[in-house]
Structure 1
Amino acid sequence: MKEEISLAKQTKRILQENDIKLNKNLGQNYLIDDFKRKKIINYANLTKEDTVLEIGPGIGTLTIELAKRAKKVIAIEQDETIFNILKKRLEKEKINNVELINGDAVKVDFPEFNKIVSNLPYQISSPISFKFLNHDFDLAILMYQKEFADRMNGKVGTKQYSRLSAMLYFKADVKFLTKVSPESFIPSPKVDSAVIQLKPKNIDSIRINDKEYEIDKETYKTYSKVVKALFQHRNKKARNALIDSRHIIGFKDKKELKSILNDLEDENPRIKEILLERTINLAPEEIMELTILLKDQL
């Protein structure tokens, strides 16, 4: 009977055999908790109809188990040495439904997929998450640093409420699934991690004063600039935050922007109300409302 080797022992053995020393600074923290691995994979509800995208597969901790359940796995690994170890491992295990890509996941074009399951390299958490949301998919099960995960779903007025929370609001539903302790990885990170479910959503319009406004790509692009400008100064009033970060929304001249804001306030009491509120207390809908009312001037 074949002896069952724990995930921790298996991972350490593969690393030792290949003389690999993991680099925490590159986000190389490998999951060694088999219970958590099973939970992550179960959250994805995989079937033989699913094509799964995995970012940062490492030596295949998730990849091999995903491949057993899905139609296909697309695994993108930047580290060439690790990529080659995984390639050999898949060949040894006779797994032929994994498409391996050696490259930077933030830069490479993704093939088609409908689900994402990844223990993400934490230093690319933000850019890779927004890249995901430019694609159509059903569900993502993603591991993040817990602090980052908290900010993804930050509530208005709390310290977790951030640019990230406001940006994701119109793009995805974010659900906290489980916490993962540092002891579940080698090397152990200094922080807790969290598994998050991400489901794309499509809010394509917003109602302002009984009028429906479309939220198209251009509007969202402007919204992202307004959000960035506001959250540079999250505790300031929105008016002052926009003026202080005017370069982000395309203004060099402070007087010009002040004049535009004054005119808009005179025309629309609602704008004045929003601009006098502190950034941290502005709901995403209010920021979008401000964006739409300002859009023609930006």
Structure 2
Amino acid sequence: MNKNLGQNYLIDENKRNQIISFANVNEDDVVLEIGSGIGTLTIELAKRAKKVIAIEQDSNICEILNQRLKKQKIDNVELINDDALKIEFPKFNKIVSNLPYQISSPITFKFLDYDFDLAVLMYQKEFALRMNGEVGSKNYSRLSAMLYFKCDVKHLTDVSCESFIPKPKVDSTVIGLTPKEITLTDEEFETYSKFTKALFQHKNKKIKNALIDSRHIICNLDKKEIKSRFNDIENEKLEKYLTKRVIVLSPEEILYISKELNPIFND
């Protein structure tokens, strides 16, 4: 096993079956699995699904899984030996994965670019708490704000570190993501995404200072020019927001700020 690839395999059969039941996998489903490992979930998913797209970066582990699939005469698994962050995913409608912890954030953001019906994903417990962090709490984060407009986030179950081999140092949590009917255009969400990223680089600072310090994420203006444009703002409601701290902004308020400030930053 390669610790650098975050390989911790689920050996608790009850938890494995619980995860699969949460996903309600049936014969019409094409399931995407990231970090399939030796097939703990893959093989059981394949018995229920129309097809499983299993992505595994470690070529040695991938070959072990390939041999297991052949031995059990399972032919509905498309096994891809590659880096999930660098490839386009084939068409799927559900995601079920025990995710490698070190890619939890980028792979989750990548999922948001795809259409799917349901995702049942295992994360490090601390990360899972940030996915559904309440505004103003220590767990409120860019992740919470980004997921807000895209998915309903549901805590499904916790998984003890004792359920894995080798045993990780932390417990895990299984999260369900159900896409929302998004009301934003692609352009609006892209703008919202940039401002959210810029703001949460400095989540304990005042909004104005956070945006000045992270201006490069949104535009190519220098610090002096940004300050000058802030001084020219005549919107009283917006001016009040600029004195608040990032951590207390709701996603709706971030959206408002992004819509109001984007023309100022990019004209």
TM-score for both structures, normalised by structure 2: 0.96
Determine whether 1:47 maps to 2:26: yes
User: Does the residue aligned with 2:140 lie in a helix, a strand or coil?
Assistant: coil
Which ranges in structure 1 are unaligned for 5 or more consecutive residues?
Answer: 1-21, 205-214
Q: How many residue pairs align between the two structures?
A: 265
User: Does the residue aligned with 2:114 lie in a helix, a strand or coil?
Assistant: coil
Determine whether 1:240 maps to 2:209: yes
| Superposed counterparts of 1:85-234, under 5 Å | 85-204=64-183, 215-234=184-203
User: Does the residue aligned with 2:123 lie in a helix, a strand or coil?
Assistant: strand
Give yes or no for contact 1:56–1:118 (8 Å, CA) kept in 2: yes
Which ranges in structure 2 are unaligned for 5 or more consecutive residues?
Answer: none
User: Does the residue aligned with 2:153 lie in a helix, a strand or coil?
Assistant: strand
Give yes or no for contact 1:24–1:189 (8 Å, CA) kept in 2: no
Query: d(CA) in 1 for partners of 2:253 and 2:232?
Result: 19
Query: d(CA) in 2 for partners of 1:51 and 1:203?
Result: 23
Determine whether 1:81 maps to 2:60: yes
Query: d(CA) in 1 for partners of 2:249 and 2:182?
Result: 18
Displacement of 1:227: 1.2
Displacement of 1:251: 4.2
Alpha-carbon displacement from aligned partner over 1:252-285 (angstroms, at most 9, x marks no partner): 4222112212222x2x111012111110000011
Q: Paired residue for 1:212?
A: none
Alpha-carbon displacement from aligned partner over 1:100-148 (angstroms, at most 9, x marks no partner): 1111111112111111100011111111111111111100000011111
Q: Paired residue for 1:253?
A: 222
Query: d(CA) in 2 for partners of 1:108 and 1:230?
Result: 29
User: Does the residue aligned with 2:232 lie in a helix, a strand or coil?
Assistant: helix
Query: d(CA) in 1 for partners of 2:175 and 2:49?
Result: 20
Alpha-carbon displacement from aligned partner over 1:188-233 (angstroms, at most 9, x marks no partner): 11111110001111332xxxxxxxxxx3222222222211221121
TM-score for both structures, normalised by structure 1: 0.86
User: Does the residue aligned with 2:177 lie in a helix, a strand or coil?
Assistant: strand
Query: d(CA) in 2 for partners of 1:80 and 1:25?
Result: 14
Query: d(CA) in 2 for partners of 1:249 and 1:137?
Result: 29
Query: d(CA) in 2 for partners of 1:120 and 1:225?
Result: 25
Q: Paired residue for 2:243?
A: 276
Give yes or no for contact 1:243–1:258 (8 Å, CA) kept in 2: yes
Alpha-carbon displacement from aligned partner over 1:34-82 (angstroms, at most 9, x marks no partner): 1110110000011111111111111110011101111111101111111
Give yes or no for contact 1:55–1:105 (8 Å, CA) kept in 2: yes
Query: d(CA) in 2 for partners of 1:77 and 1:222?
Result: 33
Q: Please identify runs of 4+ aligned residues in structure 1 that moved more than 6 A.
A: none
Query: d(CA) in 2 for partners of 1:140 and 1:225?
Result: 25
Q: Paired residue for 2:260?
A: 293
User: Does the residue aligned with 2:137 lie in a helix, a strand or coil?
Assistant: coil
User: Does the residue aligned with 1:177 lie in a helix, a strand or coil?
Assistant: strand
User: Does the residue aligned with 1:261 lie in a helix, a strand or coil?
Assistant: helix
User: Does the residue aligned with 1:144 lie in a helix, a strand or coil?
Assistant: strand
Alpha-carbon displacement from aligned partner over 1:146-193 (angstroms, at most 9, x marks no partner): 111111111100000011111111111111111111111011111111
User: Does the residue aligned with 1:164 lie in a helix, a strand or coil?
Assistant: helix
Give yes or no for contact 1:251–1:257 (8 Å, CA) kept in 2: no
Query: d(CA) in 2 for partners of 1:228 and 1:114?
Result: 28
Query: d(CA) in 1 for partners of 2:181 and 2:242?
Result: 27
User: Does the residue aligned with 2:20 lie in a helix, a strand or coil?
Assistant: helix
